Amino acid sequence: MILSWQQIPSPLVSEIMSHNFDGVVLDLEHGCFNNETLYACIQVIRTRGKKCFVRLTEVSITMIRYCLDAGADGLIFSSIETIEQCQKIIEYSCYFPKGKRGLGLVRQNFWGEKDLLSKNPVLIVQIETKEAVDNLTEIIKFDFDYYLIGPYDLSLSLGCPGKFDKHEFVCYINKVANLISESKMAIHIPNNVEHEIEKYRNYALKCLGMDTIAILEYNKENRRNA
């Protein structure tokens, strides 16, 4: 599955980002969505028949419920490091008997016109700190759908921000690779996609580019050609 990545809070941007991709990630960690705009973006993406994933800053029962009731197909959780966080993700996101998610008449089931009990969402946890990798043998016992490496934050936690060729960073990436198969690996490549994509060719889930980066690159190219 190949997804685009959206930070600009606009349903029009969601519609554009849906083109030529299997779906869109709405980034609440570094974007500036309010709840109403978030709901509208989810609606536009799903109406186009594309997958919608929302990245959340924290394991919040309120935001998990809001996104899933609005119709999001899955959730990405930033900076997962502990067993307690993993337990809460399952509890808040999944229906009984797996979890304790509430059931209501919401947009996801078209206010009761569809089957009330939809399948549980796709759950993706981000492995982006030293602590996360150190605890990975416990985290993977929860059998999440995908594990998404956050290379910038991981390198920062190792004291070598953005230096992906450093020995310690490479060692930690190899630790992840030894524990998780490529069929469950995910990656976000925000820029230099053509240069970076080959490293992750066999990953099951790839998020490519970003709306903000695309605009900046377009402006730079126009400036060079002016």
Give the pLDDT confidence of 1-15 residue by residue, as tens digits: 999 999 999 999 999
Find the length of the chain: 226
Summarised one tens digit per residue, pLDDT across range 63-98 is 999 999 999 999 999 999 999 999 999 999 999 999
Here the CATH number for the domain that contains residue 73 is 3.20.20.60
* Residue 133: burial class (beta carbons within 10 Å; 0-12, 13-18, 19+): buried
Of 6 and 105, the structure prediction assigns the larger pLDDT to: 6
For residue 173, what are the domain limits?
Answer: 2-225
- 84-89 LR contacts (CB < 8 Å, sep 24+): 85/59, 86/125, 86/138, 86/139, 86/142, 86/144, 87/142, 88/59, 88/61, 89/59, 89/64, 89/123, 89/125, 89/142, 89/144
Show the 3-state SS of 159-178. CCCCCCCCHHHHHHHHHHHH
- Residue 96 phi, psi dihedral angles, 5° rounding: -60, 140
AA identity, residue 90: I
pLDDT in tens, 117-135: 778 999 999 999 999 999 9
Tell me what percent of the residues of the chain surpass a pLDDT of 90.
66
Domain count, the chain: 1
103 has a pLDDT exceeding 80: yes
Distance of CA 6 to the CA centre of its chain: 11
Model pTM?
Answer: 0.92
Residue 94 CA to residue 92 CA, distance in Å, equals 6
